[in-house]
């Protein structure tokens, strides 16, 4: 996926790109694919950016020996014959606020230079908050669940989850750190009751609101929509409910009302916190990270002693609470969600699906500032992730007309456009158009 998304830019700059794979014994590994993918995208982006047209870029992968039977060690190398760094700068490259003084790089902005100042207090705050949550019992679980949703628009919920899933804040069991690591390693080796204190930060807390609460909210959103919008809202809500209920992908639903009715999103976040707390207090032991029915059956129903029955017992009232609160608020405020203005005009009704997606991709590219403004196009399960040269050229109004549920700008050169489950087709279409 990384190579295919970078190929249009590689072709544009006529770079010679080579992949070298050496001594790979284990091709299937478990890890945070999204984070690894982001690292590779950043490295590839820099290699392309700083390598002159017609230059050489090599991506090498090699498995290294290590002393652990269940862990893999892999070396990834991205080499290029770009502008490089002077020997003088290499000696100080890891010093804070260091940057090569070169006329060829001055046009590339250096936000990273101030990050040590910005990130240190943020990091201290996050660590302190994690310690507070860990030591506050059931109330700490409530805080965790609330923040896990509330931080969603910023992407910082990943940081919070990582703290508990992979560090001692999530617990330590027989030398293994992090609630997710502990659960996955010991779920079939120790009595399930031994894992109760670790699963309280995992998928069990999400299931009542993902499988029941948000579908109730979706029904209210549909029923309160104006008549002329109902058909489009219905299609959007059905897709969102399916994603949330089956696999725990909630962004299509959450971003549909997050900016239109922030009060409802705060309510939703608090209800998420209560859900996490109730699952913990009631002794539910359902692990893994998903909040949909697949994880519910695999890690709950099929696991003796998981107390999975509390999830629907709590979830059914959640559906009614979400439905009535959303319907009351939307009716009182006379609000309805935005839907894309994609009425078919002229002969567009006779276009094939591929042609429609190609037309949509062209509009998306225009919204991203045009062909020349796009560096790399990637996607996760619900977001189109794009590196751009100039954020000021991005047209949010155009992107919203393509069916976007929301737009997030984590940095001055990276934009995320939320499309929900259809993002894979949109991303493929965008990459296909960029190749022309």
In three-state secondary structure terms, 101 is: coil
Rounded CA separation 241/215 (Å): 5
Rounded CA separation 91/105 (Å): 18
In this structure, how many other beta carbons lie within 10 angstroms of the beta carbon of residue 157?
15
Catalytic residue, candidates 30, 73, 179, 380:
380
Rounded CA separation 52/82 (Å): 6
Rounded CA separation 84/93 (Å): 12
DSSP state of 156: T
Task: Using the CB atoms, write b or e for 78-105: b if 16+ within 10 Å.
Answer: eebebeeeeeeeeeeeeeeeeebeeeee
Rounded CA separation 250/234 (Å): 16
* CB-CB contact of 257 with 221 (8 Å): yes
* CB-CB contact of 93 with 87 (8 Å): no
**Cα–Cα nearest to 402, from 353, 338, 345:** 338
* CB-CB contact of 403 with 252 (8 Å): no
* CB-CB contact of 318 with 245 (8 Å): no
**Cα–Cα nearest to 369, from 436, 430, 421, 423:** 430
Q: Give 107: exposed, middle or buried? Use CB within 10 Å, 0-12, 13-18, 19+.
A: exposed
In this structure, how many other beta carbons lie within 10 angstroms of the beta carbon of residue 390?
12
H runs (alpha helix) in 51-195: 87-92, 115-135, 137-150, 157-166, 179-186
Rounded CA separation 304/209 (Å): 23
Q: Active site includes 380?
A: yes
Known catalytic residues are 380
């Amino acid at each position: 996926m990384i190579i295919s998304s970078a190929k249009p830019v590689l072709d544009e700059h006529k770079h010679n790109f080579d992949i070298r794979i050496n001594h790979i014994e284990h091709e299937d590994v478990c890890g945070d694919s999204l984070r690894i993918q982001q690292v590779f995208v950043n490295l590839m982006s820099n290699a392309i950016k700083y390598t002159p047209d017609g230059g050489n870029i090599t991506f090498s992968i090699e498995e290294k020996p290590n002393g652990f039977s269940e862990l893999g060690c892999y070396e990834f190398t991205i080499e290029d014959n770009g502008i490089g760094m002077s020997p003088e700068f290499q000696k100080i490259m890891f010093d804070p606020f260091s940057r090569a003084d070169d006329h060829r790089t001055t046009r590339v902005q250096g936000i990273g230079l101030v990050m040590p100042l910005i990130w240190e207090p943020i990091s201290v705050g996050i660590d302190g908050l994690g310690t507070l949550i860990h030591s506050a019992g059931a109330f700490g679980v409530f805080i965790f669940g609330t923040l896990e949703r509330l931080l969603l628009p910023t992407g910082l919920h990943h940081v919070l989850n990582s703290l508990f899933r992979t560090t001692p804040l999530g617990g330590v069991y027989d030398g293994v750190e992090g609630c997710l690591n502990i659960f996955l390693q010991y779920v079939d080796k120790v009595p399930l009751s031994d894992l109760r204190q670790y699963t309280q930060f995992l998928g069990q807390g999400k299931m009542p609101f993902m499988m029941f609460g948000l579908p109730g909210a979706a029904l209210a959103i549909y029923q309160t929509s104006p008549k002329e919008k109902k058909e489009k809202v219905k299609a959007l809500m059905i897709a969102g409910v399916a994603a949330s209920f089956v696999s725990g992908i909630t962004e299509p639903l959450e971003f549909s009302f997050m900016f239109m009715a922030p009060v409802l999103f705060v309510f939703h976040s608090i209800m998420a916190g209560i859900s996490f707390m109730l699952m913990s207090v009631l002794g539910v032991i359902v692990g893994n990270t998903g909040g949909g029915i697949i994880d519910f059956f695999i890690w709950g129903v099929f696991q003796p002693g998981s107390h999975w029955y509390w999830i629907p017992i709590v979830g059914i009232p959640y559906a009614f609470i979400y439905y009535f609160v959303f319907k009351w608020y939307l009716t009182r405020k006379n609000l309805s969600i935005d839907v894309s203005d994609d009425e078919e005009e002229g002969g567009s009704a006779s276009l094939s699906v591929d042609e429609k997606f190609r037309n949509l991709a062209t509009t998306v590219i225009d919204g991203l500032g045009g062909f020349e403004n796009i560096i790399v196009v990637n996607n996760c399960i619900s977001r189109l992730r794009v590196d751009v040269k100039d954020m000021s050229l991005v047209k949010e109004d155009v992107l919203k007309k393509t069916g976007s549920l929301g737009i997030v700008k984590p940095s001055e050169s990276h934009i995320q456009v939320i499309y929900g489950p259809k993002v894979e087709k949109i991303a493929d279409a965008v990459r296909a158009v960029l190749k022309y």
